[in-house]
Structure 1
Amino acid sequence: MANNRLPLRSVFAPVRALFVGDASAGVLLILVAAAAMLAANSDLAGEYNALFNGKLAWTPIEKLNTLHYWINDGLMAIFFFVVGLEVKREIICGQLATPEQRRLPMLAAVAGMLVPAGIYIFIAGGDPQLTRGWAIPAATDIAFAMGVLGLLGNRVPASLRLFLLTVAIVDDIGAVMVIAVFYTANIKLMWVVASLVVLGVMMLMNRLHVSRILPYILVALVLWFCVLNSGVHATIAGVVAALTIPMHRKDGNSLLEKLEHGLAPWSAYAIVPIFGFANAGVNLSGIGMEGILAPLPLAVAAGLVVGKQVGIFTTIFVAAKIGFAKPPKGASWAEIWGVSILCGIGFTMSLFIGELAFPNYRMLIDEAKIGILAGSVISAVMGYVILRMTTTHPNDRSAEPDPV
């Protein structure tokens, strides 16, 4: 038994800091979302709104004149920086390092973005104003989904956990590209040029094997400020800065892994919960059933609940049947279906894209949040119940055949 545990421990070692106990970060997000909804629909609603959307008495950056802006454009840049570090590590030496490892997660993630977007457009596409929200149901929340898996303990095959993690990582790459391409407006060329120059400096530092953290952090802050003023969303600076952090090892230590392990707990247990609390609250009193059942929340919820599972599960099934890629080892089709449903949990990235899709349209943002929360909760409950009913204790798996 001890020999069987060692490979699993080594596989998950790089992400242990991000998913301590698997369930804890996801459970924290559930509690944060509930607290935000309670605050927004109680006597504290005025204070909740004023805290995040009230103008600050003083700010060092005029553009960031509310706490909400500081969280979404500032703190979330650190979250995206951690995402960038994780993506680079996985591509260089992790679960996306070879074409064989990348094949199924990439295919599943792309289908898991396109099908929800298609369902969204089918339901809400009749209103041109709503079309900008097509990417809202295309994202998967890693911490939330892994948290639900964590609640199942060791009943779920390790291959499925790893598959969910890699799909979510590829999903994050897609979400970042979507934000950069589709939610960028009013480009200011001089600031773009300045951003590219600063990025070039960071790339040169990598080439010169600069091995201290402080220079990278200081230059990354300059890059963030330039991108913030360029018209490209400031969080993109976090991703591109992360890609310049060296993976090469000095004295057995990798600067990238050191930064990732240091920042990941802060991202998972502080930054994302703060973002969730600031963005998940929706005052339902002015919306009513008409708003809850409006095309926008229905499109988002349907994209998450139906689109994700259809896109991902169908892709895995077809890829396995035609011999293009093998499904997760040791998992039944019912278990694969359950994990595909969990990919419909779209909390963090979906909320973030919702804010970008409908700037200055508070009602549409709130309707999108209703769809995100409803779709994520339904996906979480459905996925958990199916996996709870279909998974067995790992000791009973020896006699089970692979799904193909």
Structure 2
Amino acid sequence: MIKPAILTNFEKFINKEALSGILLFVATVLAVIVANSSLGQDYYDLWHLPLGVNLGEMSVSMTLTYWIDDGLMALFFLMVGLEIKREMLVGELSTVNKATFPIIAAVGGMIIPALIYVSLNPSNPLGFGIPMATDIAFALGILMLLGNKVNPALKVFLVALAVVDDLGAIFVVATVYTNEIHSEYFVHVILIMALLFSLNKLKVTALTPYLLLGIALWIYVHAIGIHATIAGVLLAFTIPIKAKIDQKKFVKKTKKDIHKFEENMEEDFPVLNDEQIHNLDHIAHNYEKVQNPLVRLEHGLHGLSAFFIMPLFAFSNAGVIIDFSTVSANLMIVLGVVLGLILGKPIGIVGLTYLATKLKLVEKPDDISWTEIIAVGFIAGIGFTMSIFITHLAFIDEGIIAAVKLGVFVASFIAAVIGVFLLLTIKKV
């Protein structure tokens, strides 16, 4: 079972009430409406506006959309990475068997969709990565909309599965769809990671040096030529979880300072004296020292992610042009993507985890039913933005891209509806 404190923290991360999920949904619908209106070209031009930053001899230049996808979403992945690390250290993923379960699920959820696509398109297999992806932002948004109707343990499972899934998709992007890898920057990434882990080992709990090095890490991960959001996950695993002082010591020191504060009180004198100010400063100093750096950063990213990054991400990426004329000309490609997302995801996730549990290779969490896992399998079929991103890498022909994007949109919607229906109506088994 999830510990109450861990559960409380996780709920704060994943469920900023229904409002954040509603914002995500509204942003998606609004993007589709605008993209198919007379403002469609302006919408397209806005997100494809080129923006660049020069740092010495290095230049980072991307469209506005990619600054959102690679930049702001790196912060979202940082938050997710922090949650995963916390769960692996003190939560539901802290044992080998329990941690392995979502990894096996993610692997199944990538392999089966890819096989379905390739079986339908043996002469054009390059699009196999499109149905492999799970859009973590939209998948979590669905669960946020459902609020307390969803088993909290299921949210932990989905987060772990989706992150592993996304990292798998990123690996595919880096190895299959990346035309040019600048391997010379790997040295820079390794050195920065070494510095980050050194800070951790030296018990540095101030977040500023980690975040500054994190910016450098993002720059060089992007310079390598792979998806820069992985920098957020890498940074998360270097953030320390232990506080400088434990809770008992904090209580002891605070009681002492409060006692001294009370001793220095002056009747009929409303202004604090120097001793009292010193006592308050000492309490504030210990307040910082007792906080877990990982949890502090995670809480700091909650509102930014839920109410700004995710809705902006949805609005900038969800503008799918509704035009079915290109679908018939590329039917097998679209069918491979659609079936891969709607059927491949749940079959792969449920099938491989069920087989692994029967072979006693992994242990299914006691507080998650197979019915809920089936539901998550369908929700993981929400490929959406990551699938669309891979579509642009896999194909050049605009007709194919338009057809596949529409297929991804339809498949993601159907997968979400089925997943939500299962969560709300089927009893646990």
Shorter-chain TM-score: what band? 0.7 to 0.9
8 Å CA contact 2:130, 2:390 repeated in 1: yes
Partner of residue 30, structure 2: 35
Which letter maps to 1:264?
Answer: H
Q: How does 1:244-283 map to 2 (within 5 A)?
A: 244-251=238-245, 252-283=290-321
Say if 2:14 is the partner of 1:19. yes
Pairs aligned (count): 382
2:301 matches 1:304? no
- Amino acid paired to 1:111: G
Match in the other structure for 2:366: 329
Work out whether 1:90 is the aligned partner of 2:128.
Answer: no
**CA separation of 1:156 and 1:266: change in aligned 2, threshold 3 A:** closer
Q: 2:218–2:232: 8 Å Cα contact kept in structure 1?
A: yes
- Structure 2 letter corresponding to 1:83: V
Distance 1:191 1:97, change over 3 A: same
Q: Which residue of 2 aligns with 1:224?
A: 218
The unaligned stretches of length 5 or more in structure 1 are: 392-401
Question: Structure 2 CA distance, aligned partners of 1:31 and 1:302?
Answer: 26
Report if aligned partners of 2:178, 2:226 keep a CA contact under 8 Å in 1: yes
Give the CA deviation at 1:111.
Answer: 0.7
Question: Matches of 2:154 and 2:76 in 1, distance apart?
Answer: 25
Aligned to 1:45: 40
Return closer, same or farther for 1:272/1:383 CA change in 2, 3 Å cut-off: same
Aligned residue in 2 for 1:367: 403
Corresponding position: 1:201 with 2:202 = no
Q: What is the CA-CA distance between 1:157 and the residue it aligns to?
A: 4.6
> What secondary structure does 1:16 align onto?
helix
CA deviation map 1:101-149 (0-9, x unaligned)? 123222222111111111122223422xxx3332222233344334444
- Report the alpha carbon displacement of residue 257 of structure 1 after superposing the two structures with TM: 1.8
Q: Secondary structure at the match of 1:229?
A: helix
Distance apart, 1:220 and its partner CA: 1.5
Give the counterpart of 2:417 among 371, 377, 381: 381
Q: What is the identity, as a one-letter code, of the residue corresponding to 1:42?
A: S
Q: Which residue, 329, 332, 338 being the options, matches 1:295?
A: 332
Q: Highest Rg: 1 or 2? A: 2
2:112–2:348: 8 Å Cα contact kept in structure 1? yes
1:329–1:22 Cα change, 3 Å:
farther
Contact 1:136/1:300 (<8 A) preserved: yes
User: Letter of the aligned partner of 1:17 in structure 2?
Assistant: K
CA distance in 1 between counterparts of 2:141 and 2:4 reads: 18
Whether 2:127 is the aligned partner of 1:133: answer yes
Answer whether contact 2:318 2:385 (CA < 8 A) is retained.
no
Pick the aligned partner of 2:235 from 233, 241, 245: 241
Aligned-residue offset at 1:59:
5.2
Distance 1:77 1:169, change over 3 A: closer
Distance 2:346 2:426 in 1: 17
Kindly tell me: are residues 166 and 201 of structure 1, through their superposed partners in 2, closer, same or farther at Cα, counting changes over 3 Å?
Answer: closer
1:87–1:160 Cα change, 3 Å: closer
Separation of aligned partners in 1, 2:169 and 2:182:
23
Change (3 A) 1:24 1:293: farther
Shift of 1:385: 2.2
Question: Which stretch has the larger CA shift, 370-379 or 184-193?
Answer: 184-193
CA RMSD of aligned residues (A): 3.0
For the 8 Å contact 1:25–1:144, the answer to whether it is kept is no
| Cα distance change, pair 160–221 in 1 and its aligned pair in 2 (3 A) | closer
Report whether the alignment pairs 1:174 with 2:171: no
- The answer for the alignment partner of 2:257 in structure 1 is none
* 1:354–1:18 CA distance, 2 compared to 1 (3 A): farther
Query: Residue type matched to 2:374 in 1?
Result: W
